[in-house]
Amino acid sequence: MSKFDIYETVTNLIVERLEAGVVPWHMPWKTASAIPRNMVSKKPYRGFNFWYLLSFGFERPYFLTFKQVQDLGGKIKKGASSFMVVFWKMVEYEKDDETKEIPMLRYYRIFHIDDVEGIDPDKIPANTAHDQDFDPIASCEQIIRFWSDSPVIKLDQQKACYIPSLDEVHMPGARTFFQDEEYYSTIFHELVHSTGHRKRLNRHERFSNLNFASNDYSQEELVAEMGSAFLCGFCGIENVTIDNSAAYIQGWLKKLKSDNKFIVMASGLAQKAVDYILDHQDSNLKPVLPEPKKKKSKSASLSMKF
């Protein structure tokens, strides 16, 4: 399958979910154990794969390749469907007598544990909830306060926005929000925007046409939506700022159908933004989820507000 076909197939998968009234990046998840992951390696799926698999709302988050099912002594149930998982693979090519590499999108297929039979139940992990003393709001505060190179956050402002030229997040006072969850959903959205600054991931300089309704603007908004949704789930709070209206869904359907690379790029950038925030925490922060550390990225200043 060519790279173009994979992009098209991936986009169609999300289009199908949206047309069914399901917005993948708005799906709730409450604990670390709810993150879709490979049952053997225990590694969570990331980027597009995370949101796509999450959108099905499985009670158990475990997936296996066909070979892993066989190795565990199981078999696929008759009539079961597989799920596509995509990944980037560096491919070498020759140019001007030099060997160069480019990333190519590839895929493989996995099966959900509910579609597998014959595996010893003792080999299937049990879902675990947060400890009884887990405090979701405190975990939100920890992420904000212990982010080592966070932008300046100014409270009691007229509206919520990120100002790249100043590297500042402006937020109305917490008491102006109806719920704590609404406040933290909003500030996470703006903090994800701030990861695009040139001293962090430099996303705004690479995608600089941030005029309203431009492709870069739409991509940046989806990056912030996905990133905020992930951080809300990471902390165990509900993202109460979500919009599942028909108009909202139709807007994203139109965008995805016009650009088959859009969802892959946006979900990948959102993953990098979240990784950056969580990887740049002071040592005092105890991680809410037991995720492995990722390699830190080296990381545009604009007059736009988000």
| Of 3-12, 16-25, 123-132, the least confident | 123-132
Give yes or no for a contact between 18 and 251, defined as CB atoms under 8 angstroms apart.
no
Supply φ then ψ for residue 26, to 5 degrees.
Answer: -110, 5
Q: How far apart are CA 252 and CA 26, in angstroms?
A: 13
The three-state (H, E, C) secondary structure of 67-119, written as one string: HHHHHCCCEECCCCCCEEEEEEEEEEEEECCEEEEEEEEEEEEEEEHHHEECC
pLDDT, one tens digit per residue, over 12-25 is 999 999 999 999 98
The DSSP secondary structure of 182-207, one letter per residue, reads HHHHHHHHHHHHHTTSTTTT-HHHHS
Q: How far apart are CA 192 and CA 226, in angstroms?
A: 9
Most confidently modeled range among 18-22, 76-80, 209-213: 76-80
The structure tokens listed for 110 are 């996995």
Q: Hey, how many other C-beta atoms are within 10 angstroms of the C-beta on 289?
A: 17
| Interval 184-205 mean pLDDT | 96
Element (H, E) at 137: helix 136-145
The domain limits of the chain are 31-129, 133-306
pLDDT of residue 265: 94
pLDDT of residue 28: 76
pLDDT of residue 306: 43
Q: 124 pLDDT exceeds 80?
A: yes
Q: 134 pLDDT exceeds 90?
A: no
Q: Which residues of 209-224 are buried (b: 16+ CB within 10 A; e: fewer)?
A: ebeeeeeebbbbbbbb
Supply φ then ψ for residue 112, to 5 degrees.
Answer: -75, 150
The structure tokens listed for 32 are 């670390």
Confidence of residue 219 (pLDDT cuts 50, 70, 90): very high
Q: How far apart are CA 21 and CA 245, in angstroms?
A: 9
Q: 61 pLDDT exceeds 60?
A: yes
Amino acid at 71: D
Give yes or no for a contact between 235 and 241, defined as CB atoms under 8 angstroms apart.
no
Supply φ then ψ for residue 146, to 5 degrees.
Answer: -100, 10
CA distances in angstroms from 87 to 5, 46, 94, 161, listed in the order given: 14, 9, 23, 33
pLDDT, one tens digit per residue, over 26-38 is 887 755 568 899 9
Q: Which residues of 292-304 are buried (b: 16+ CB within 10 A; e: fewer)?
A: eeeeeeebbbbeb
Element (H, E) at 170: strand 168-170
pLDDT, one tens digit per residue, over 253-273 is 999 999 999 999 999 999 999
Q: 155 pLDDT exceeds 90?
A: yes
126 vs 52 pLDDT, higher one: 52
Q: Please give the distance of CA 225 from its chain centroid, rounded to a whole number.
A: 9
Q: How far apart are CA 185 and CA 157, in angstroms?
A: 17
* Of 205, 208, 253, 201, the residue nearest 227 (C-alpha): 201
Secondary structure class of 46 (helix, strand, coil): coil
| Interval 38-66 mean pLDDT | 95
Q: 289 pLDDT exceeds 80?
A: no
User: Taking the CA of residue 275 as centre, how many other CA atoms within 13 Å lie in the half-sphere pointing to its CB?
Assistant: 18
pLDDT of residue 136: 83
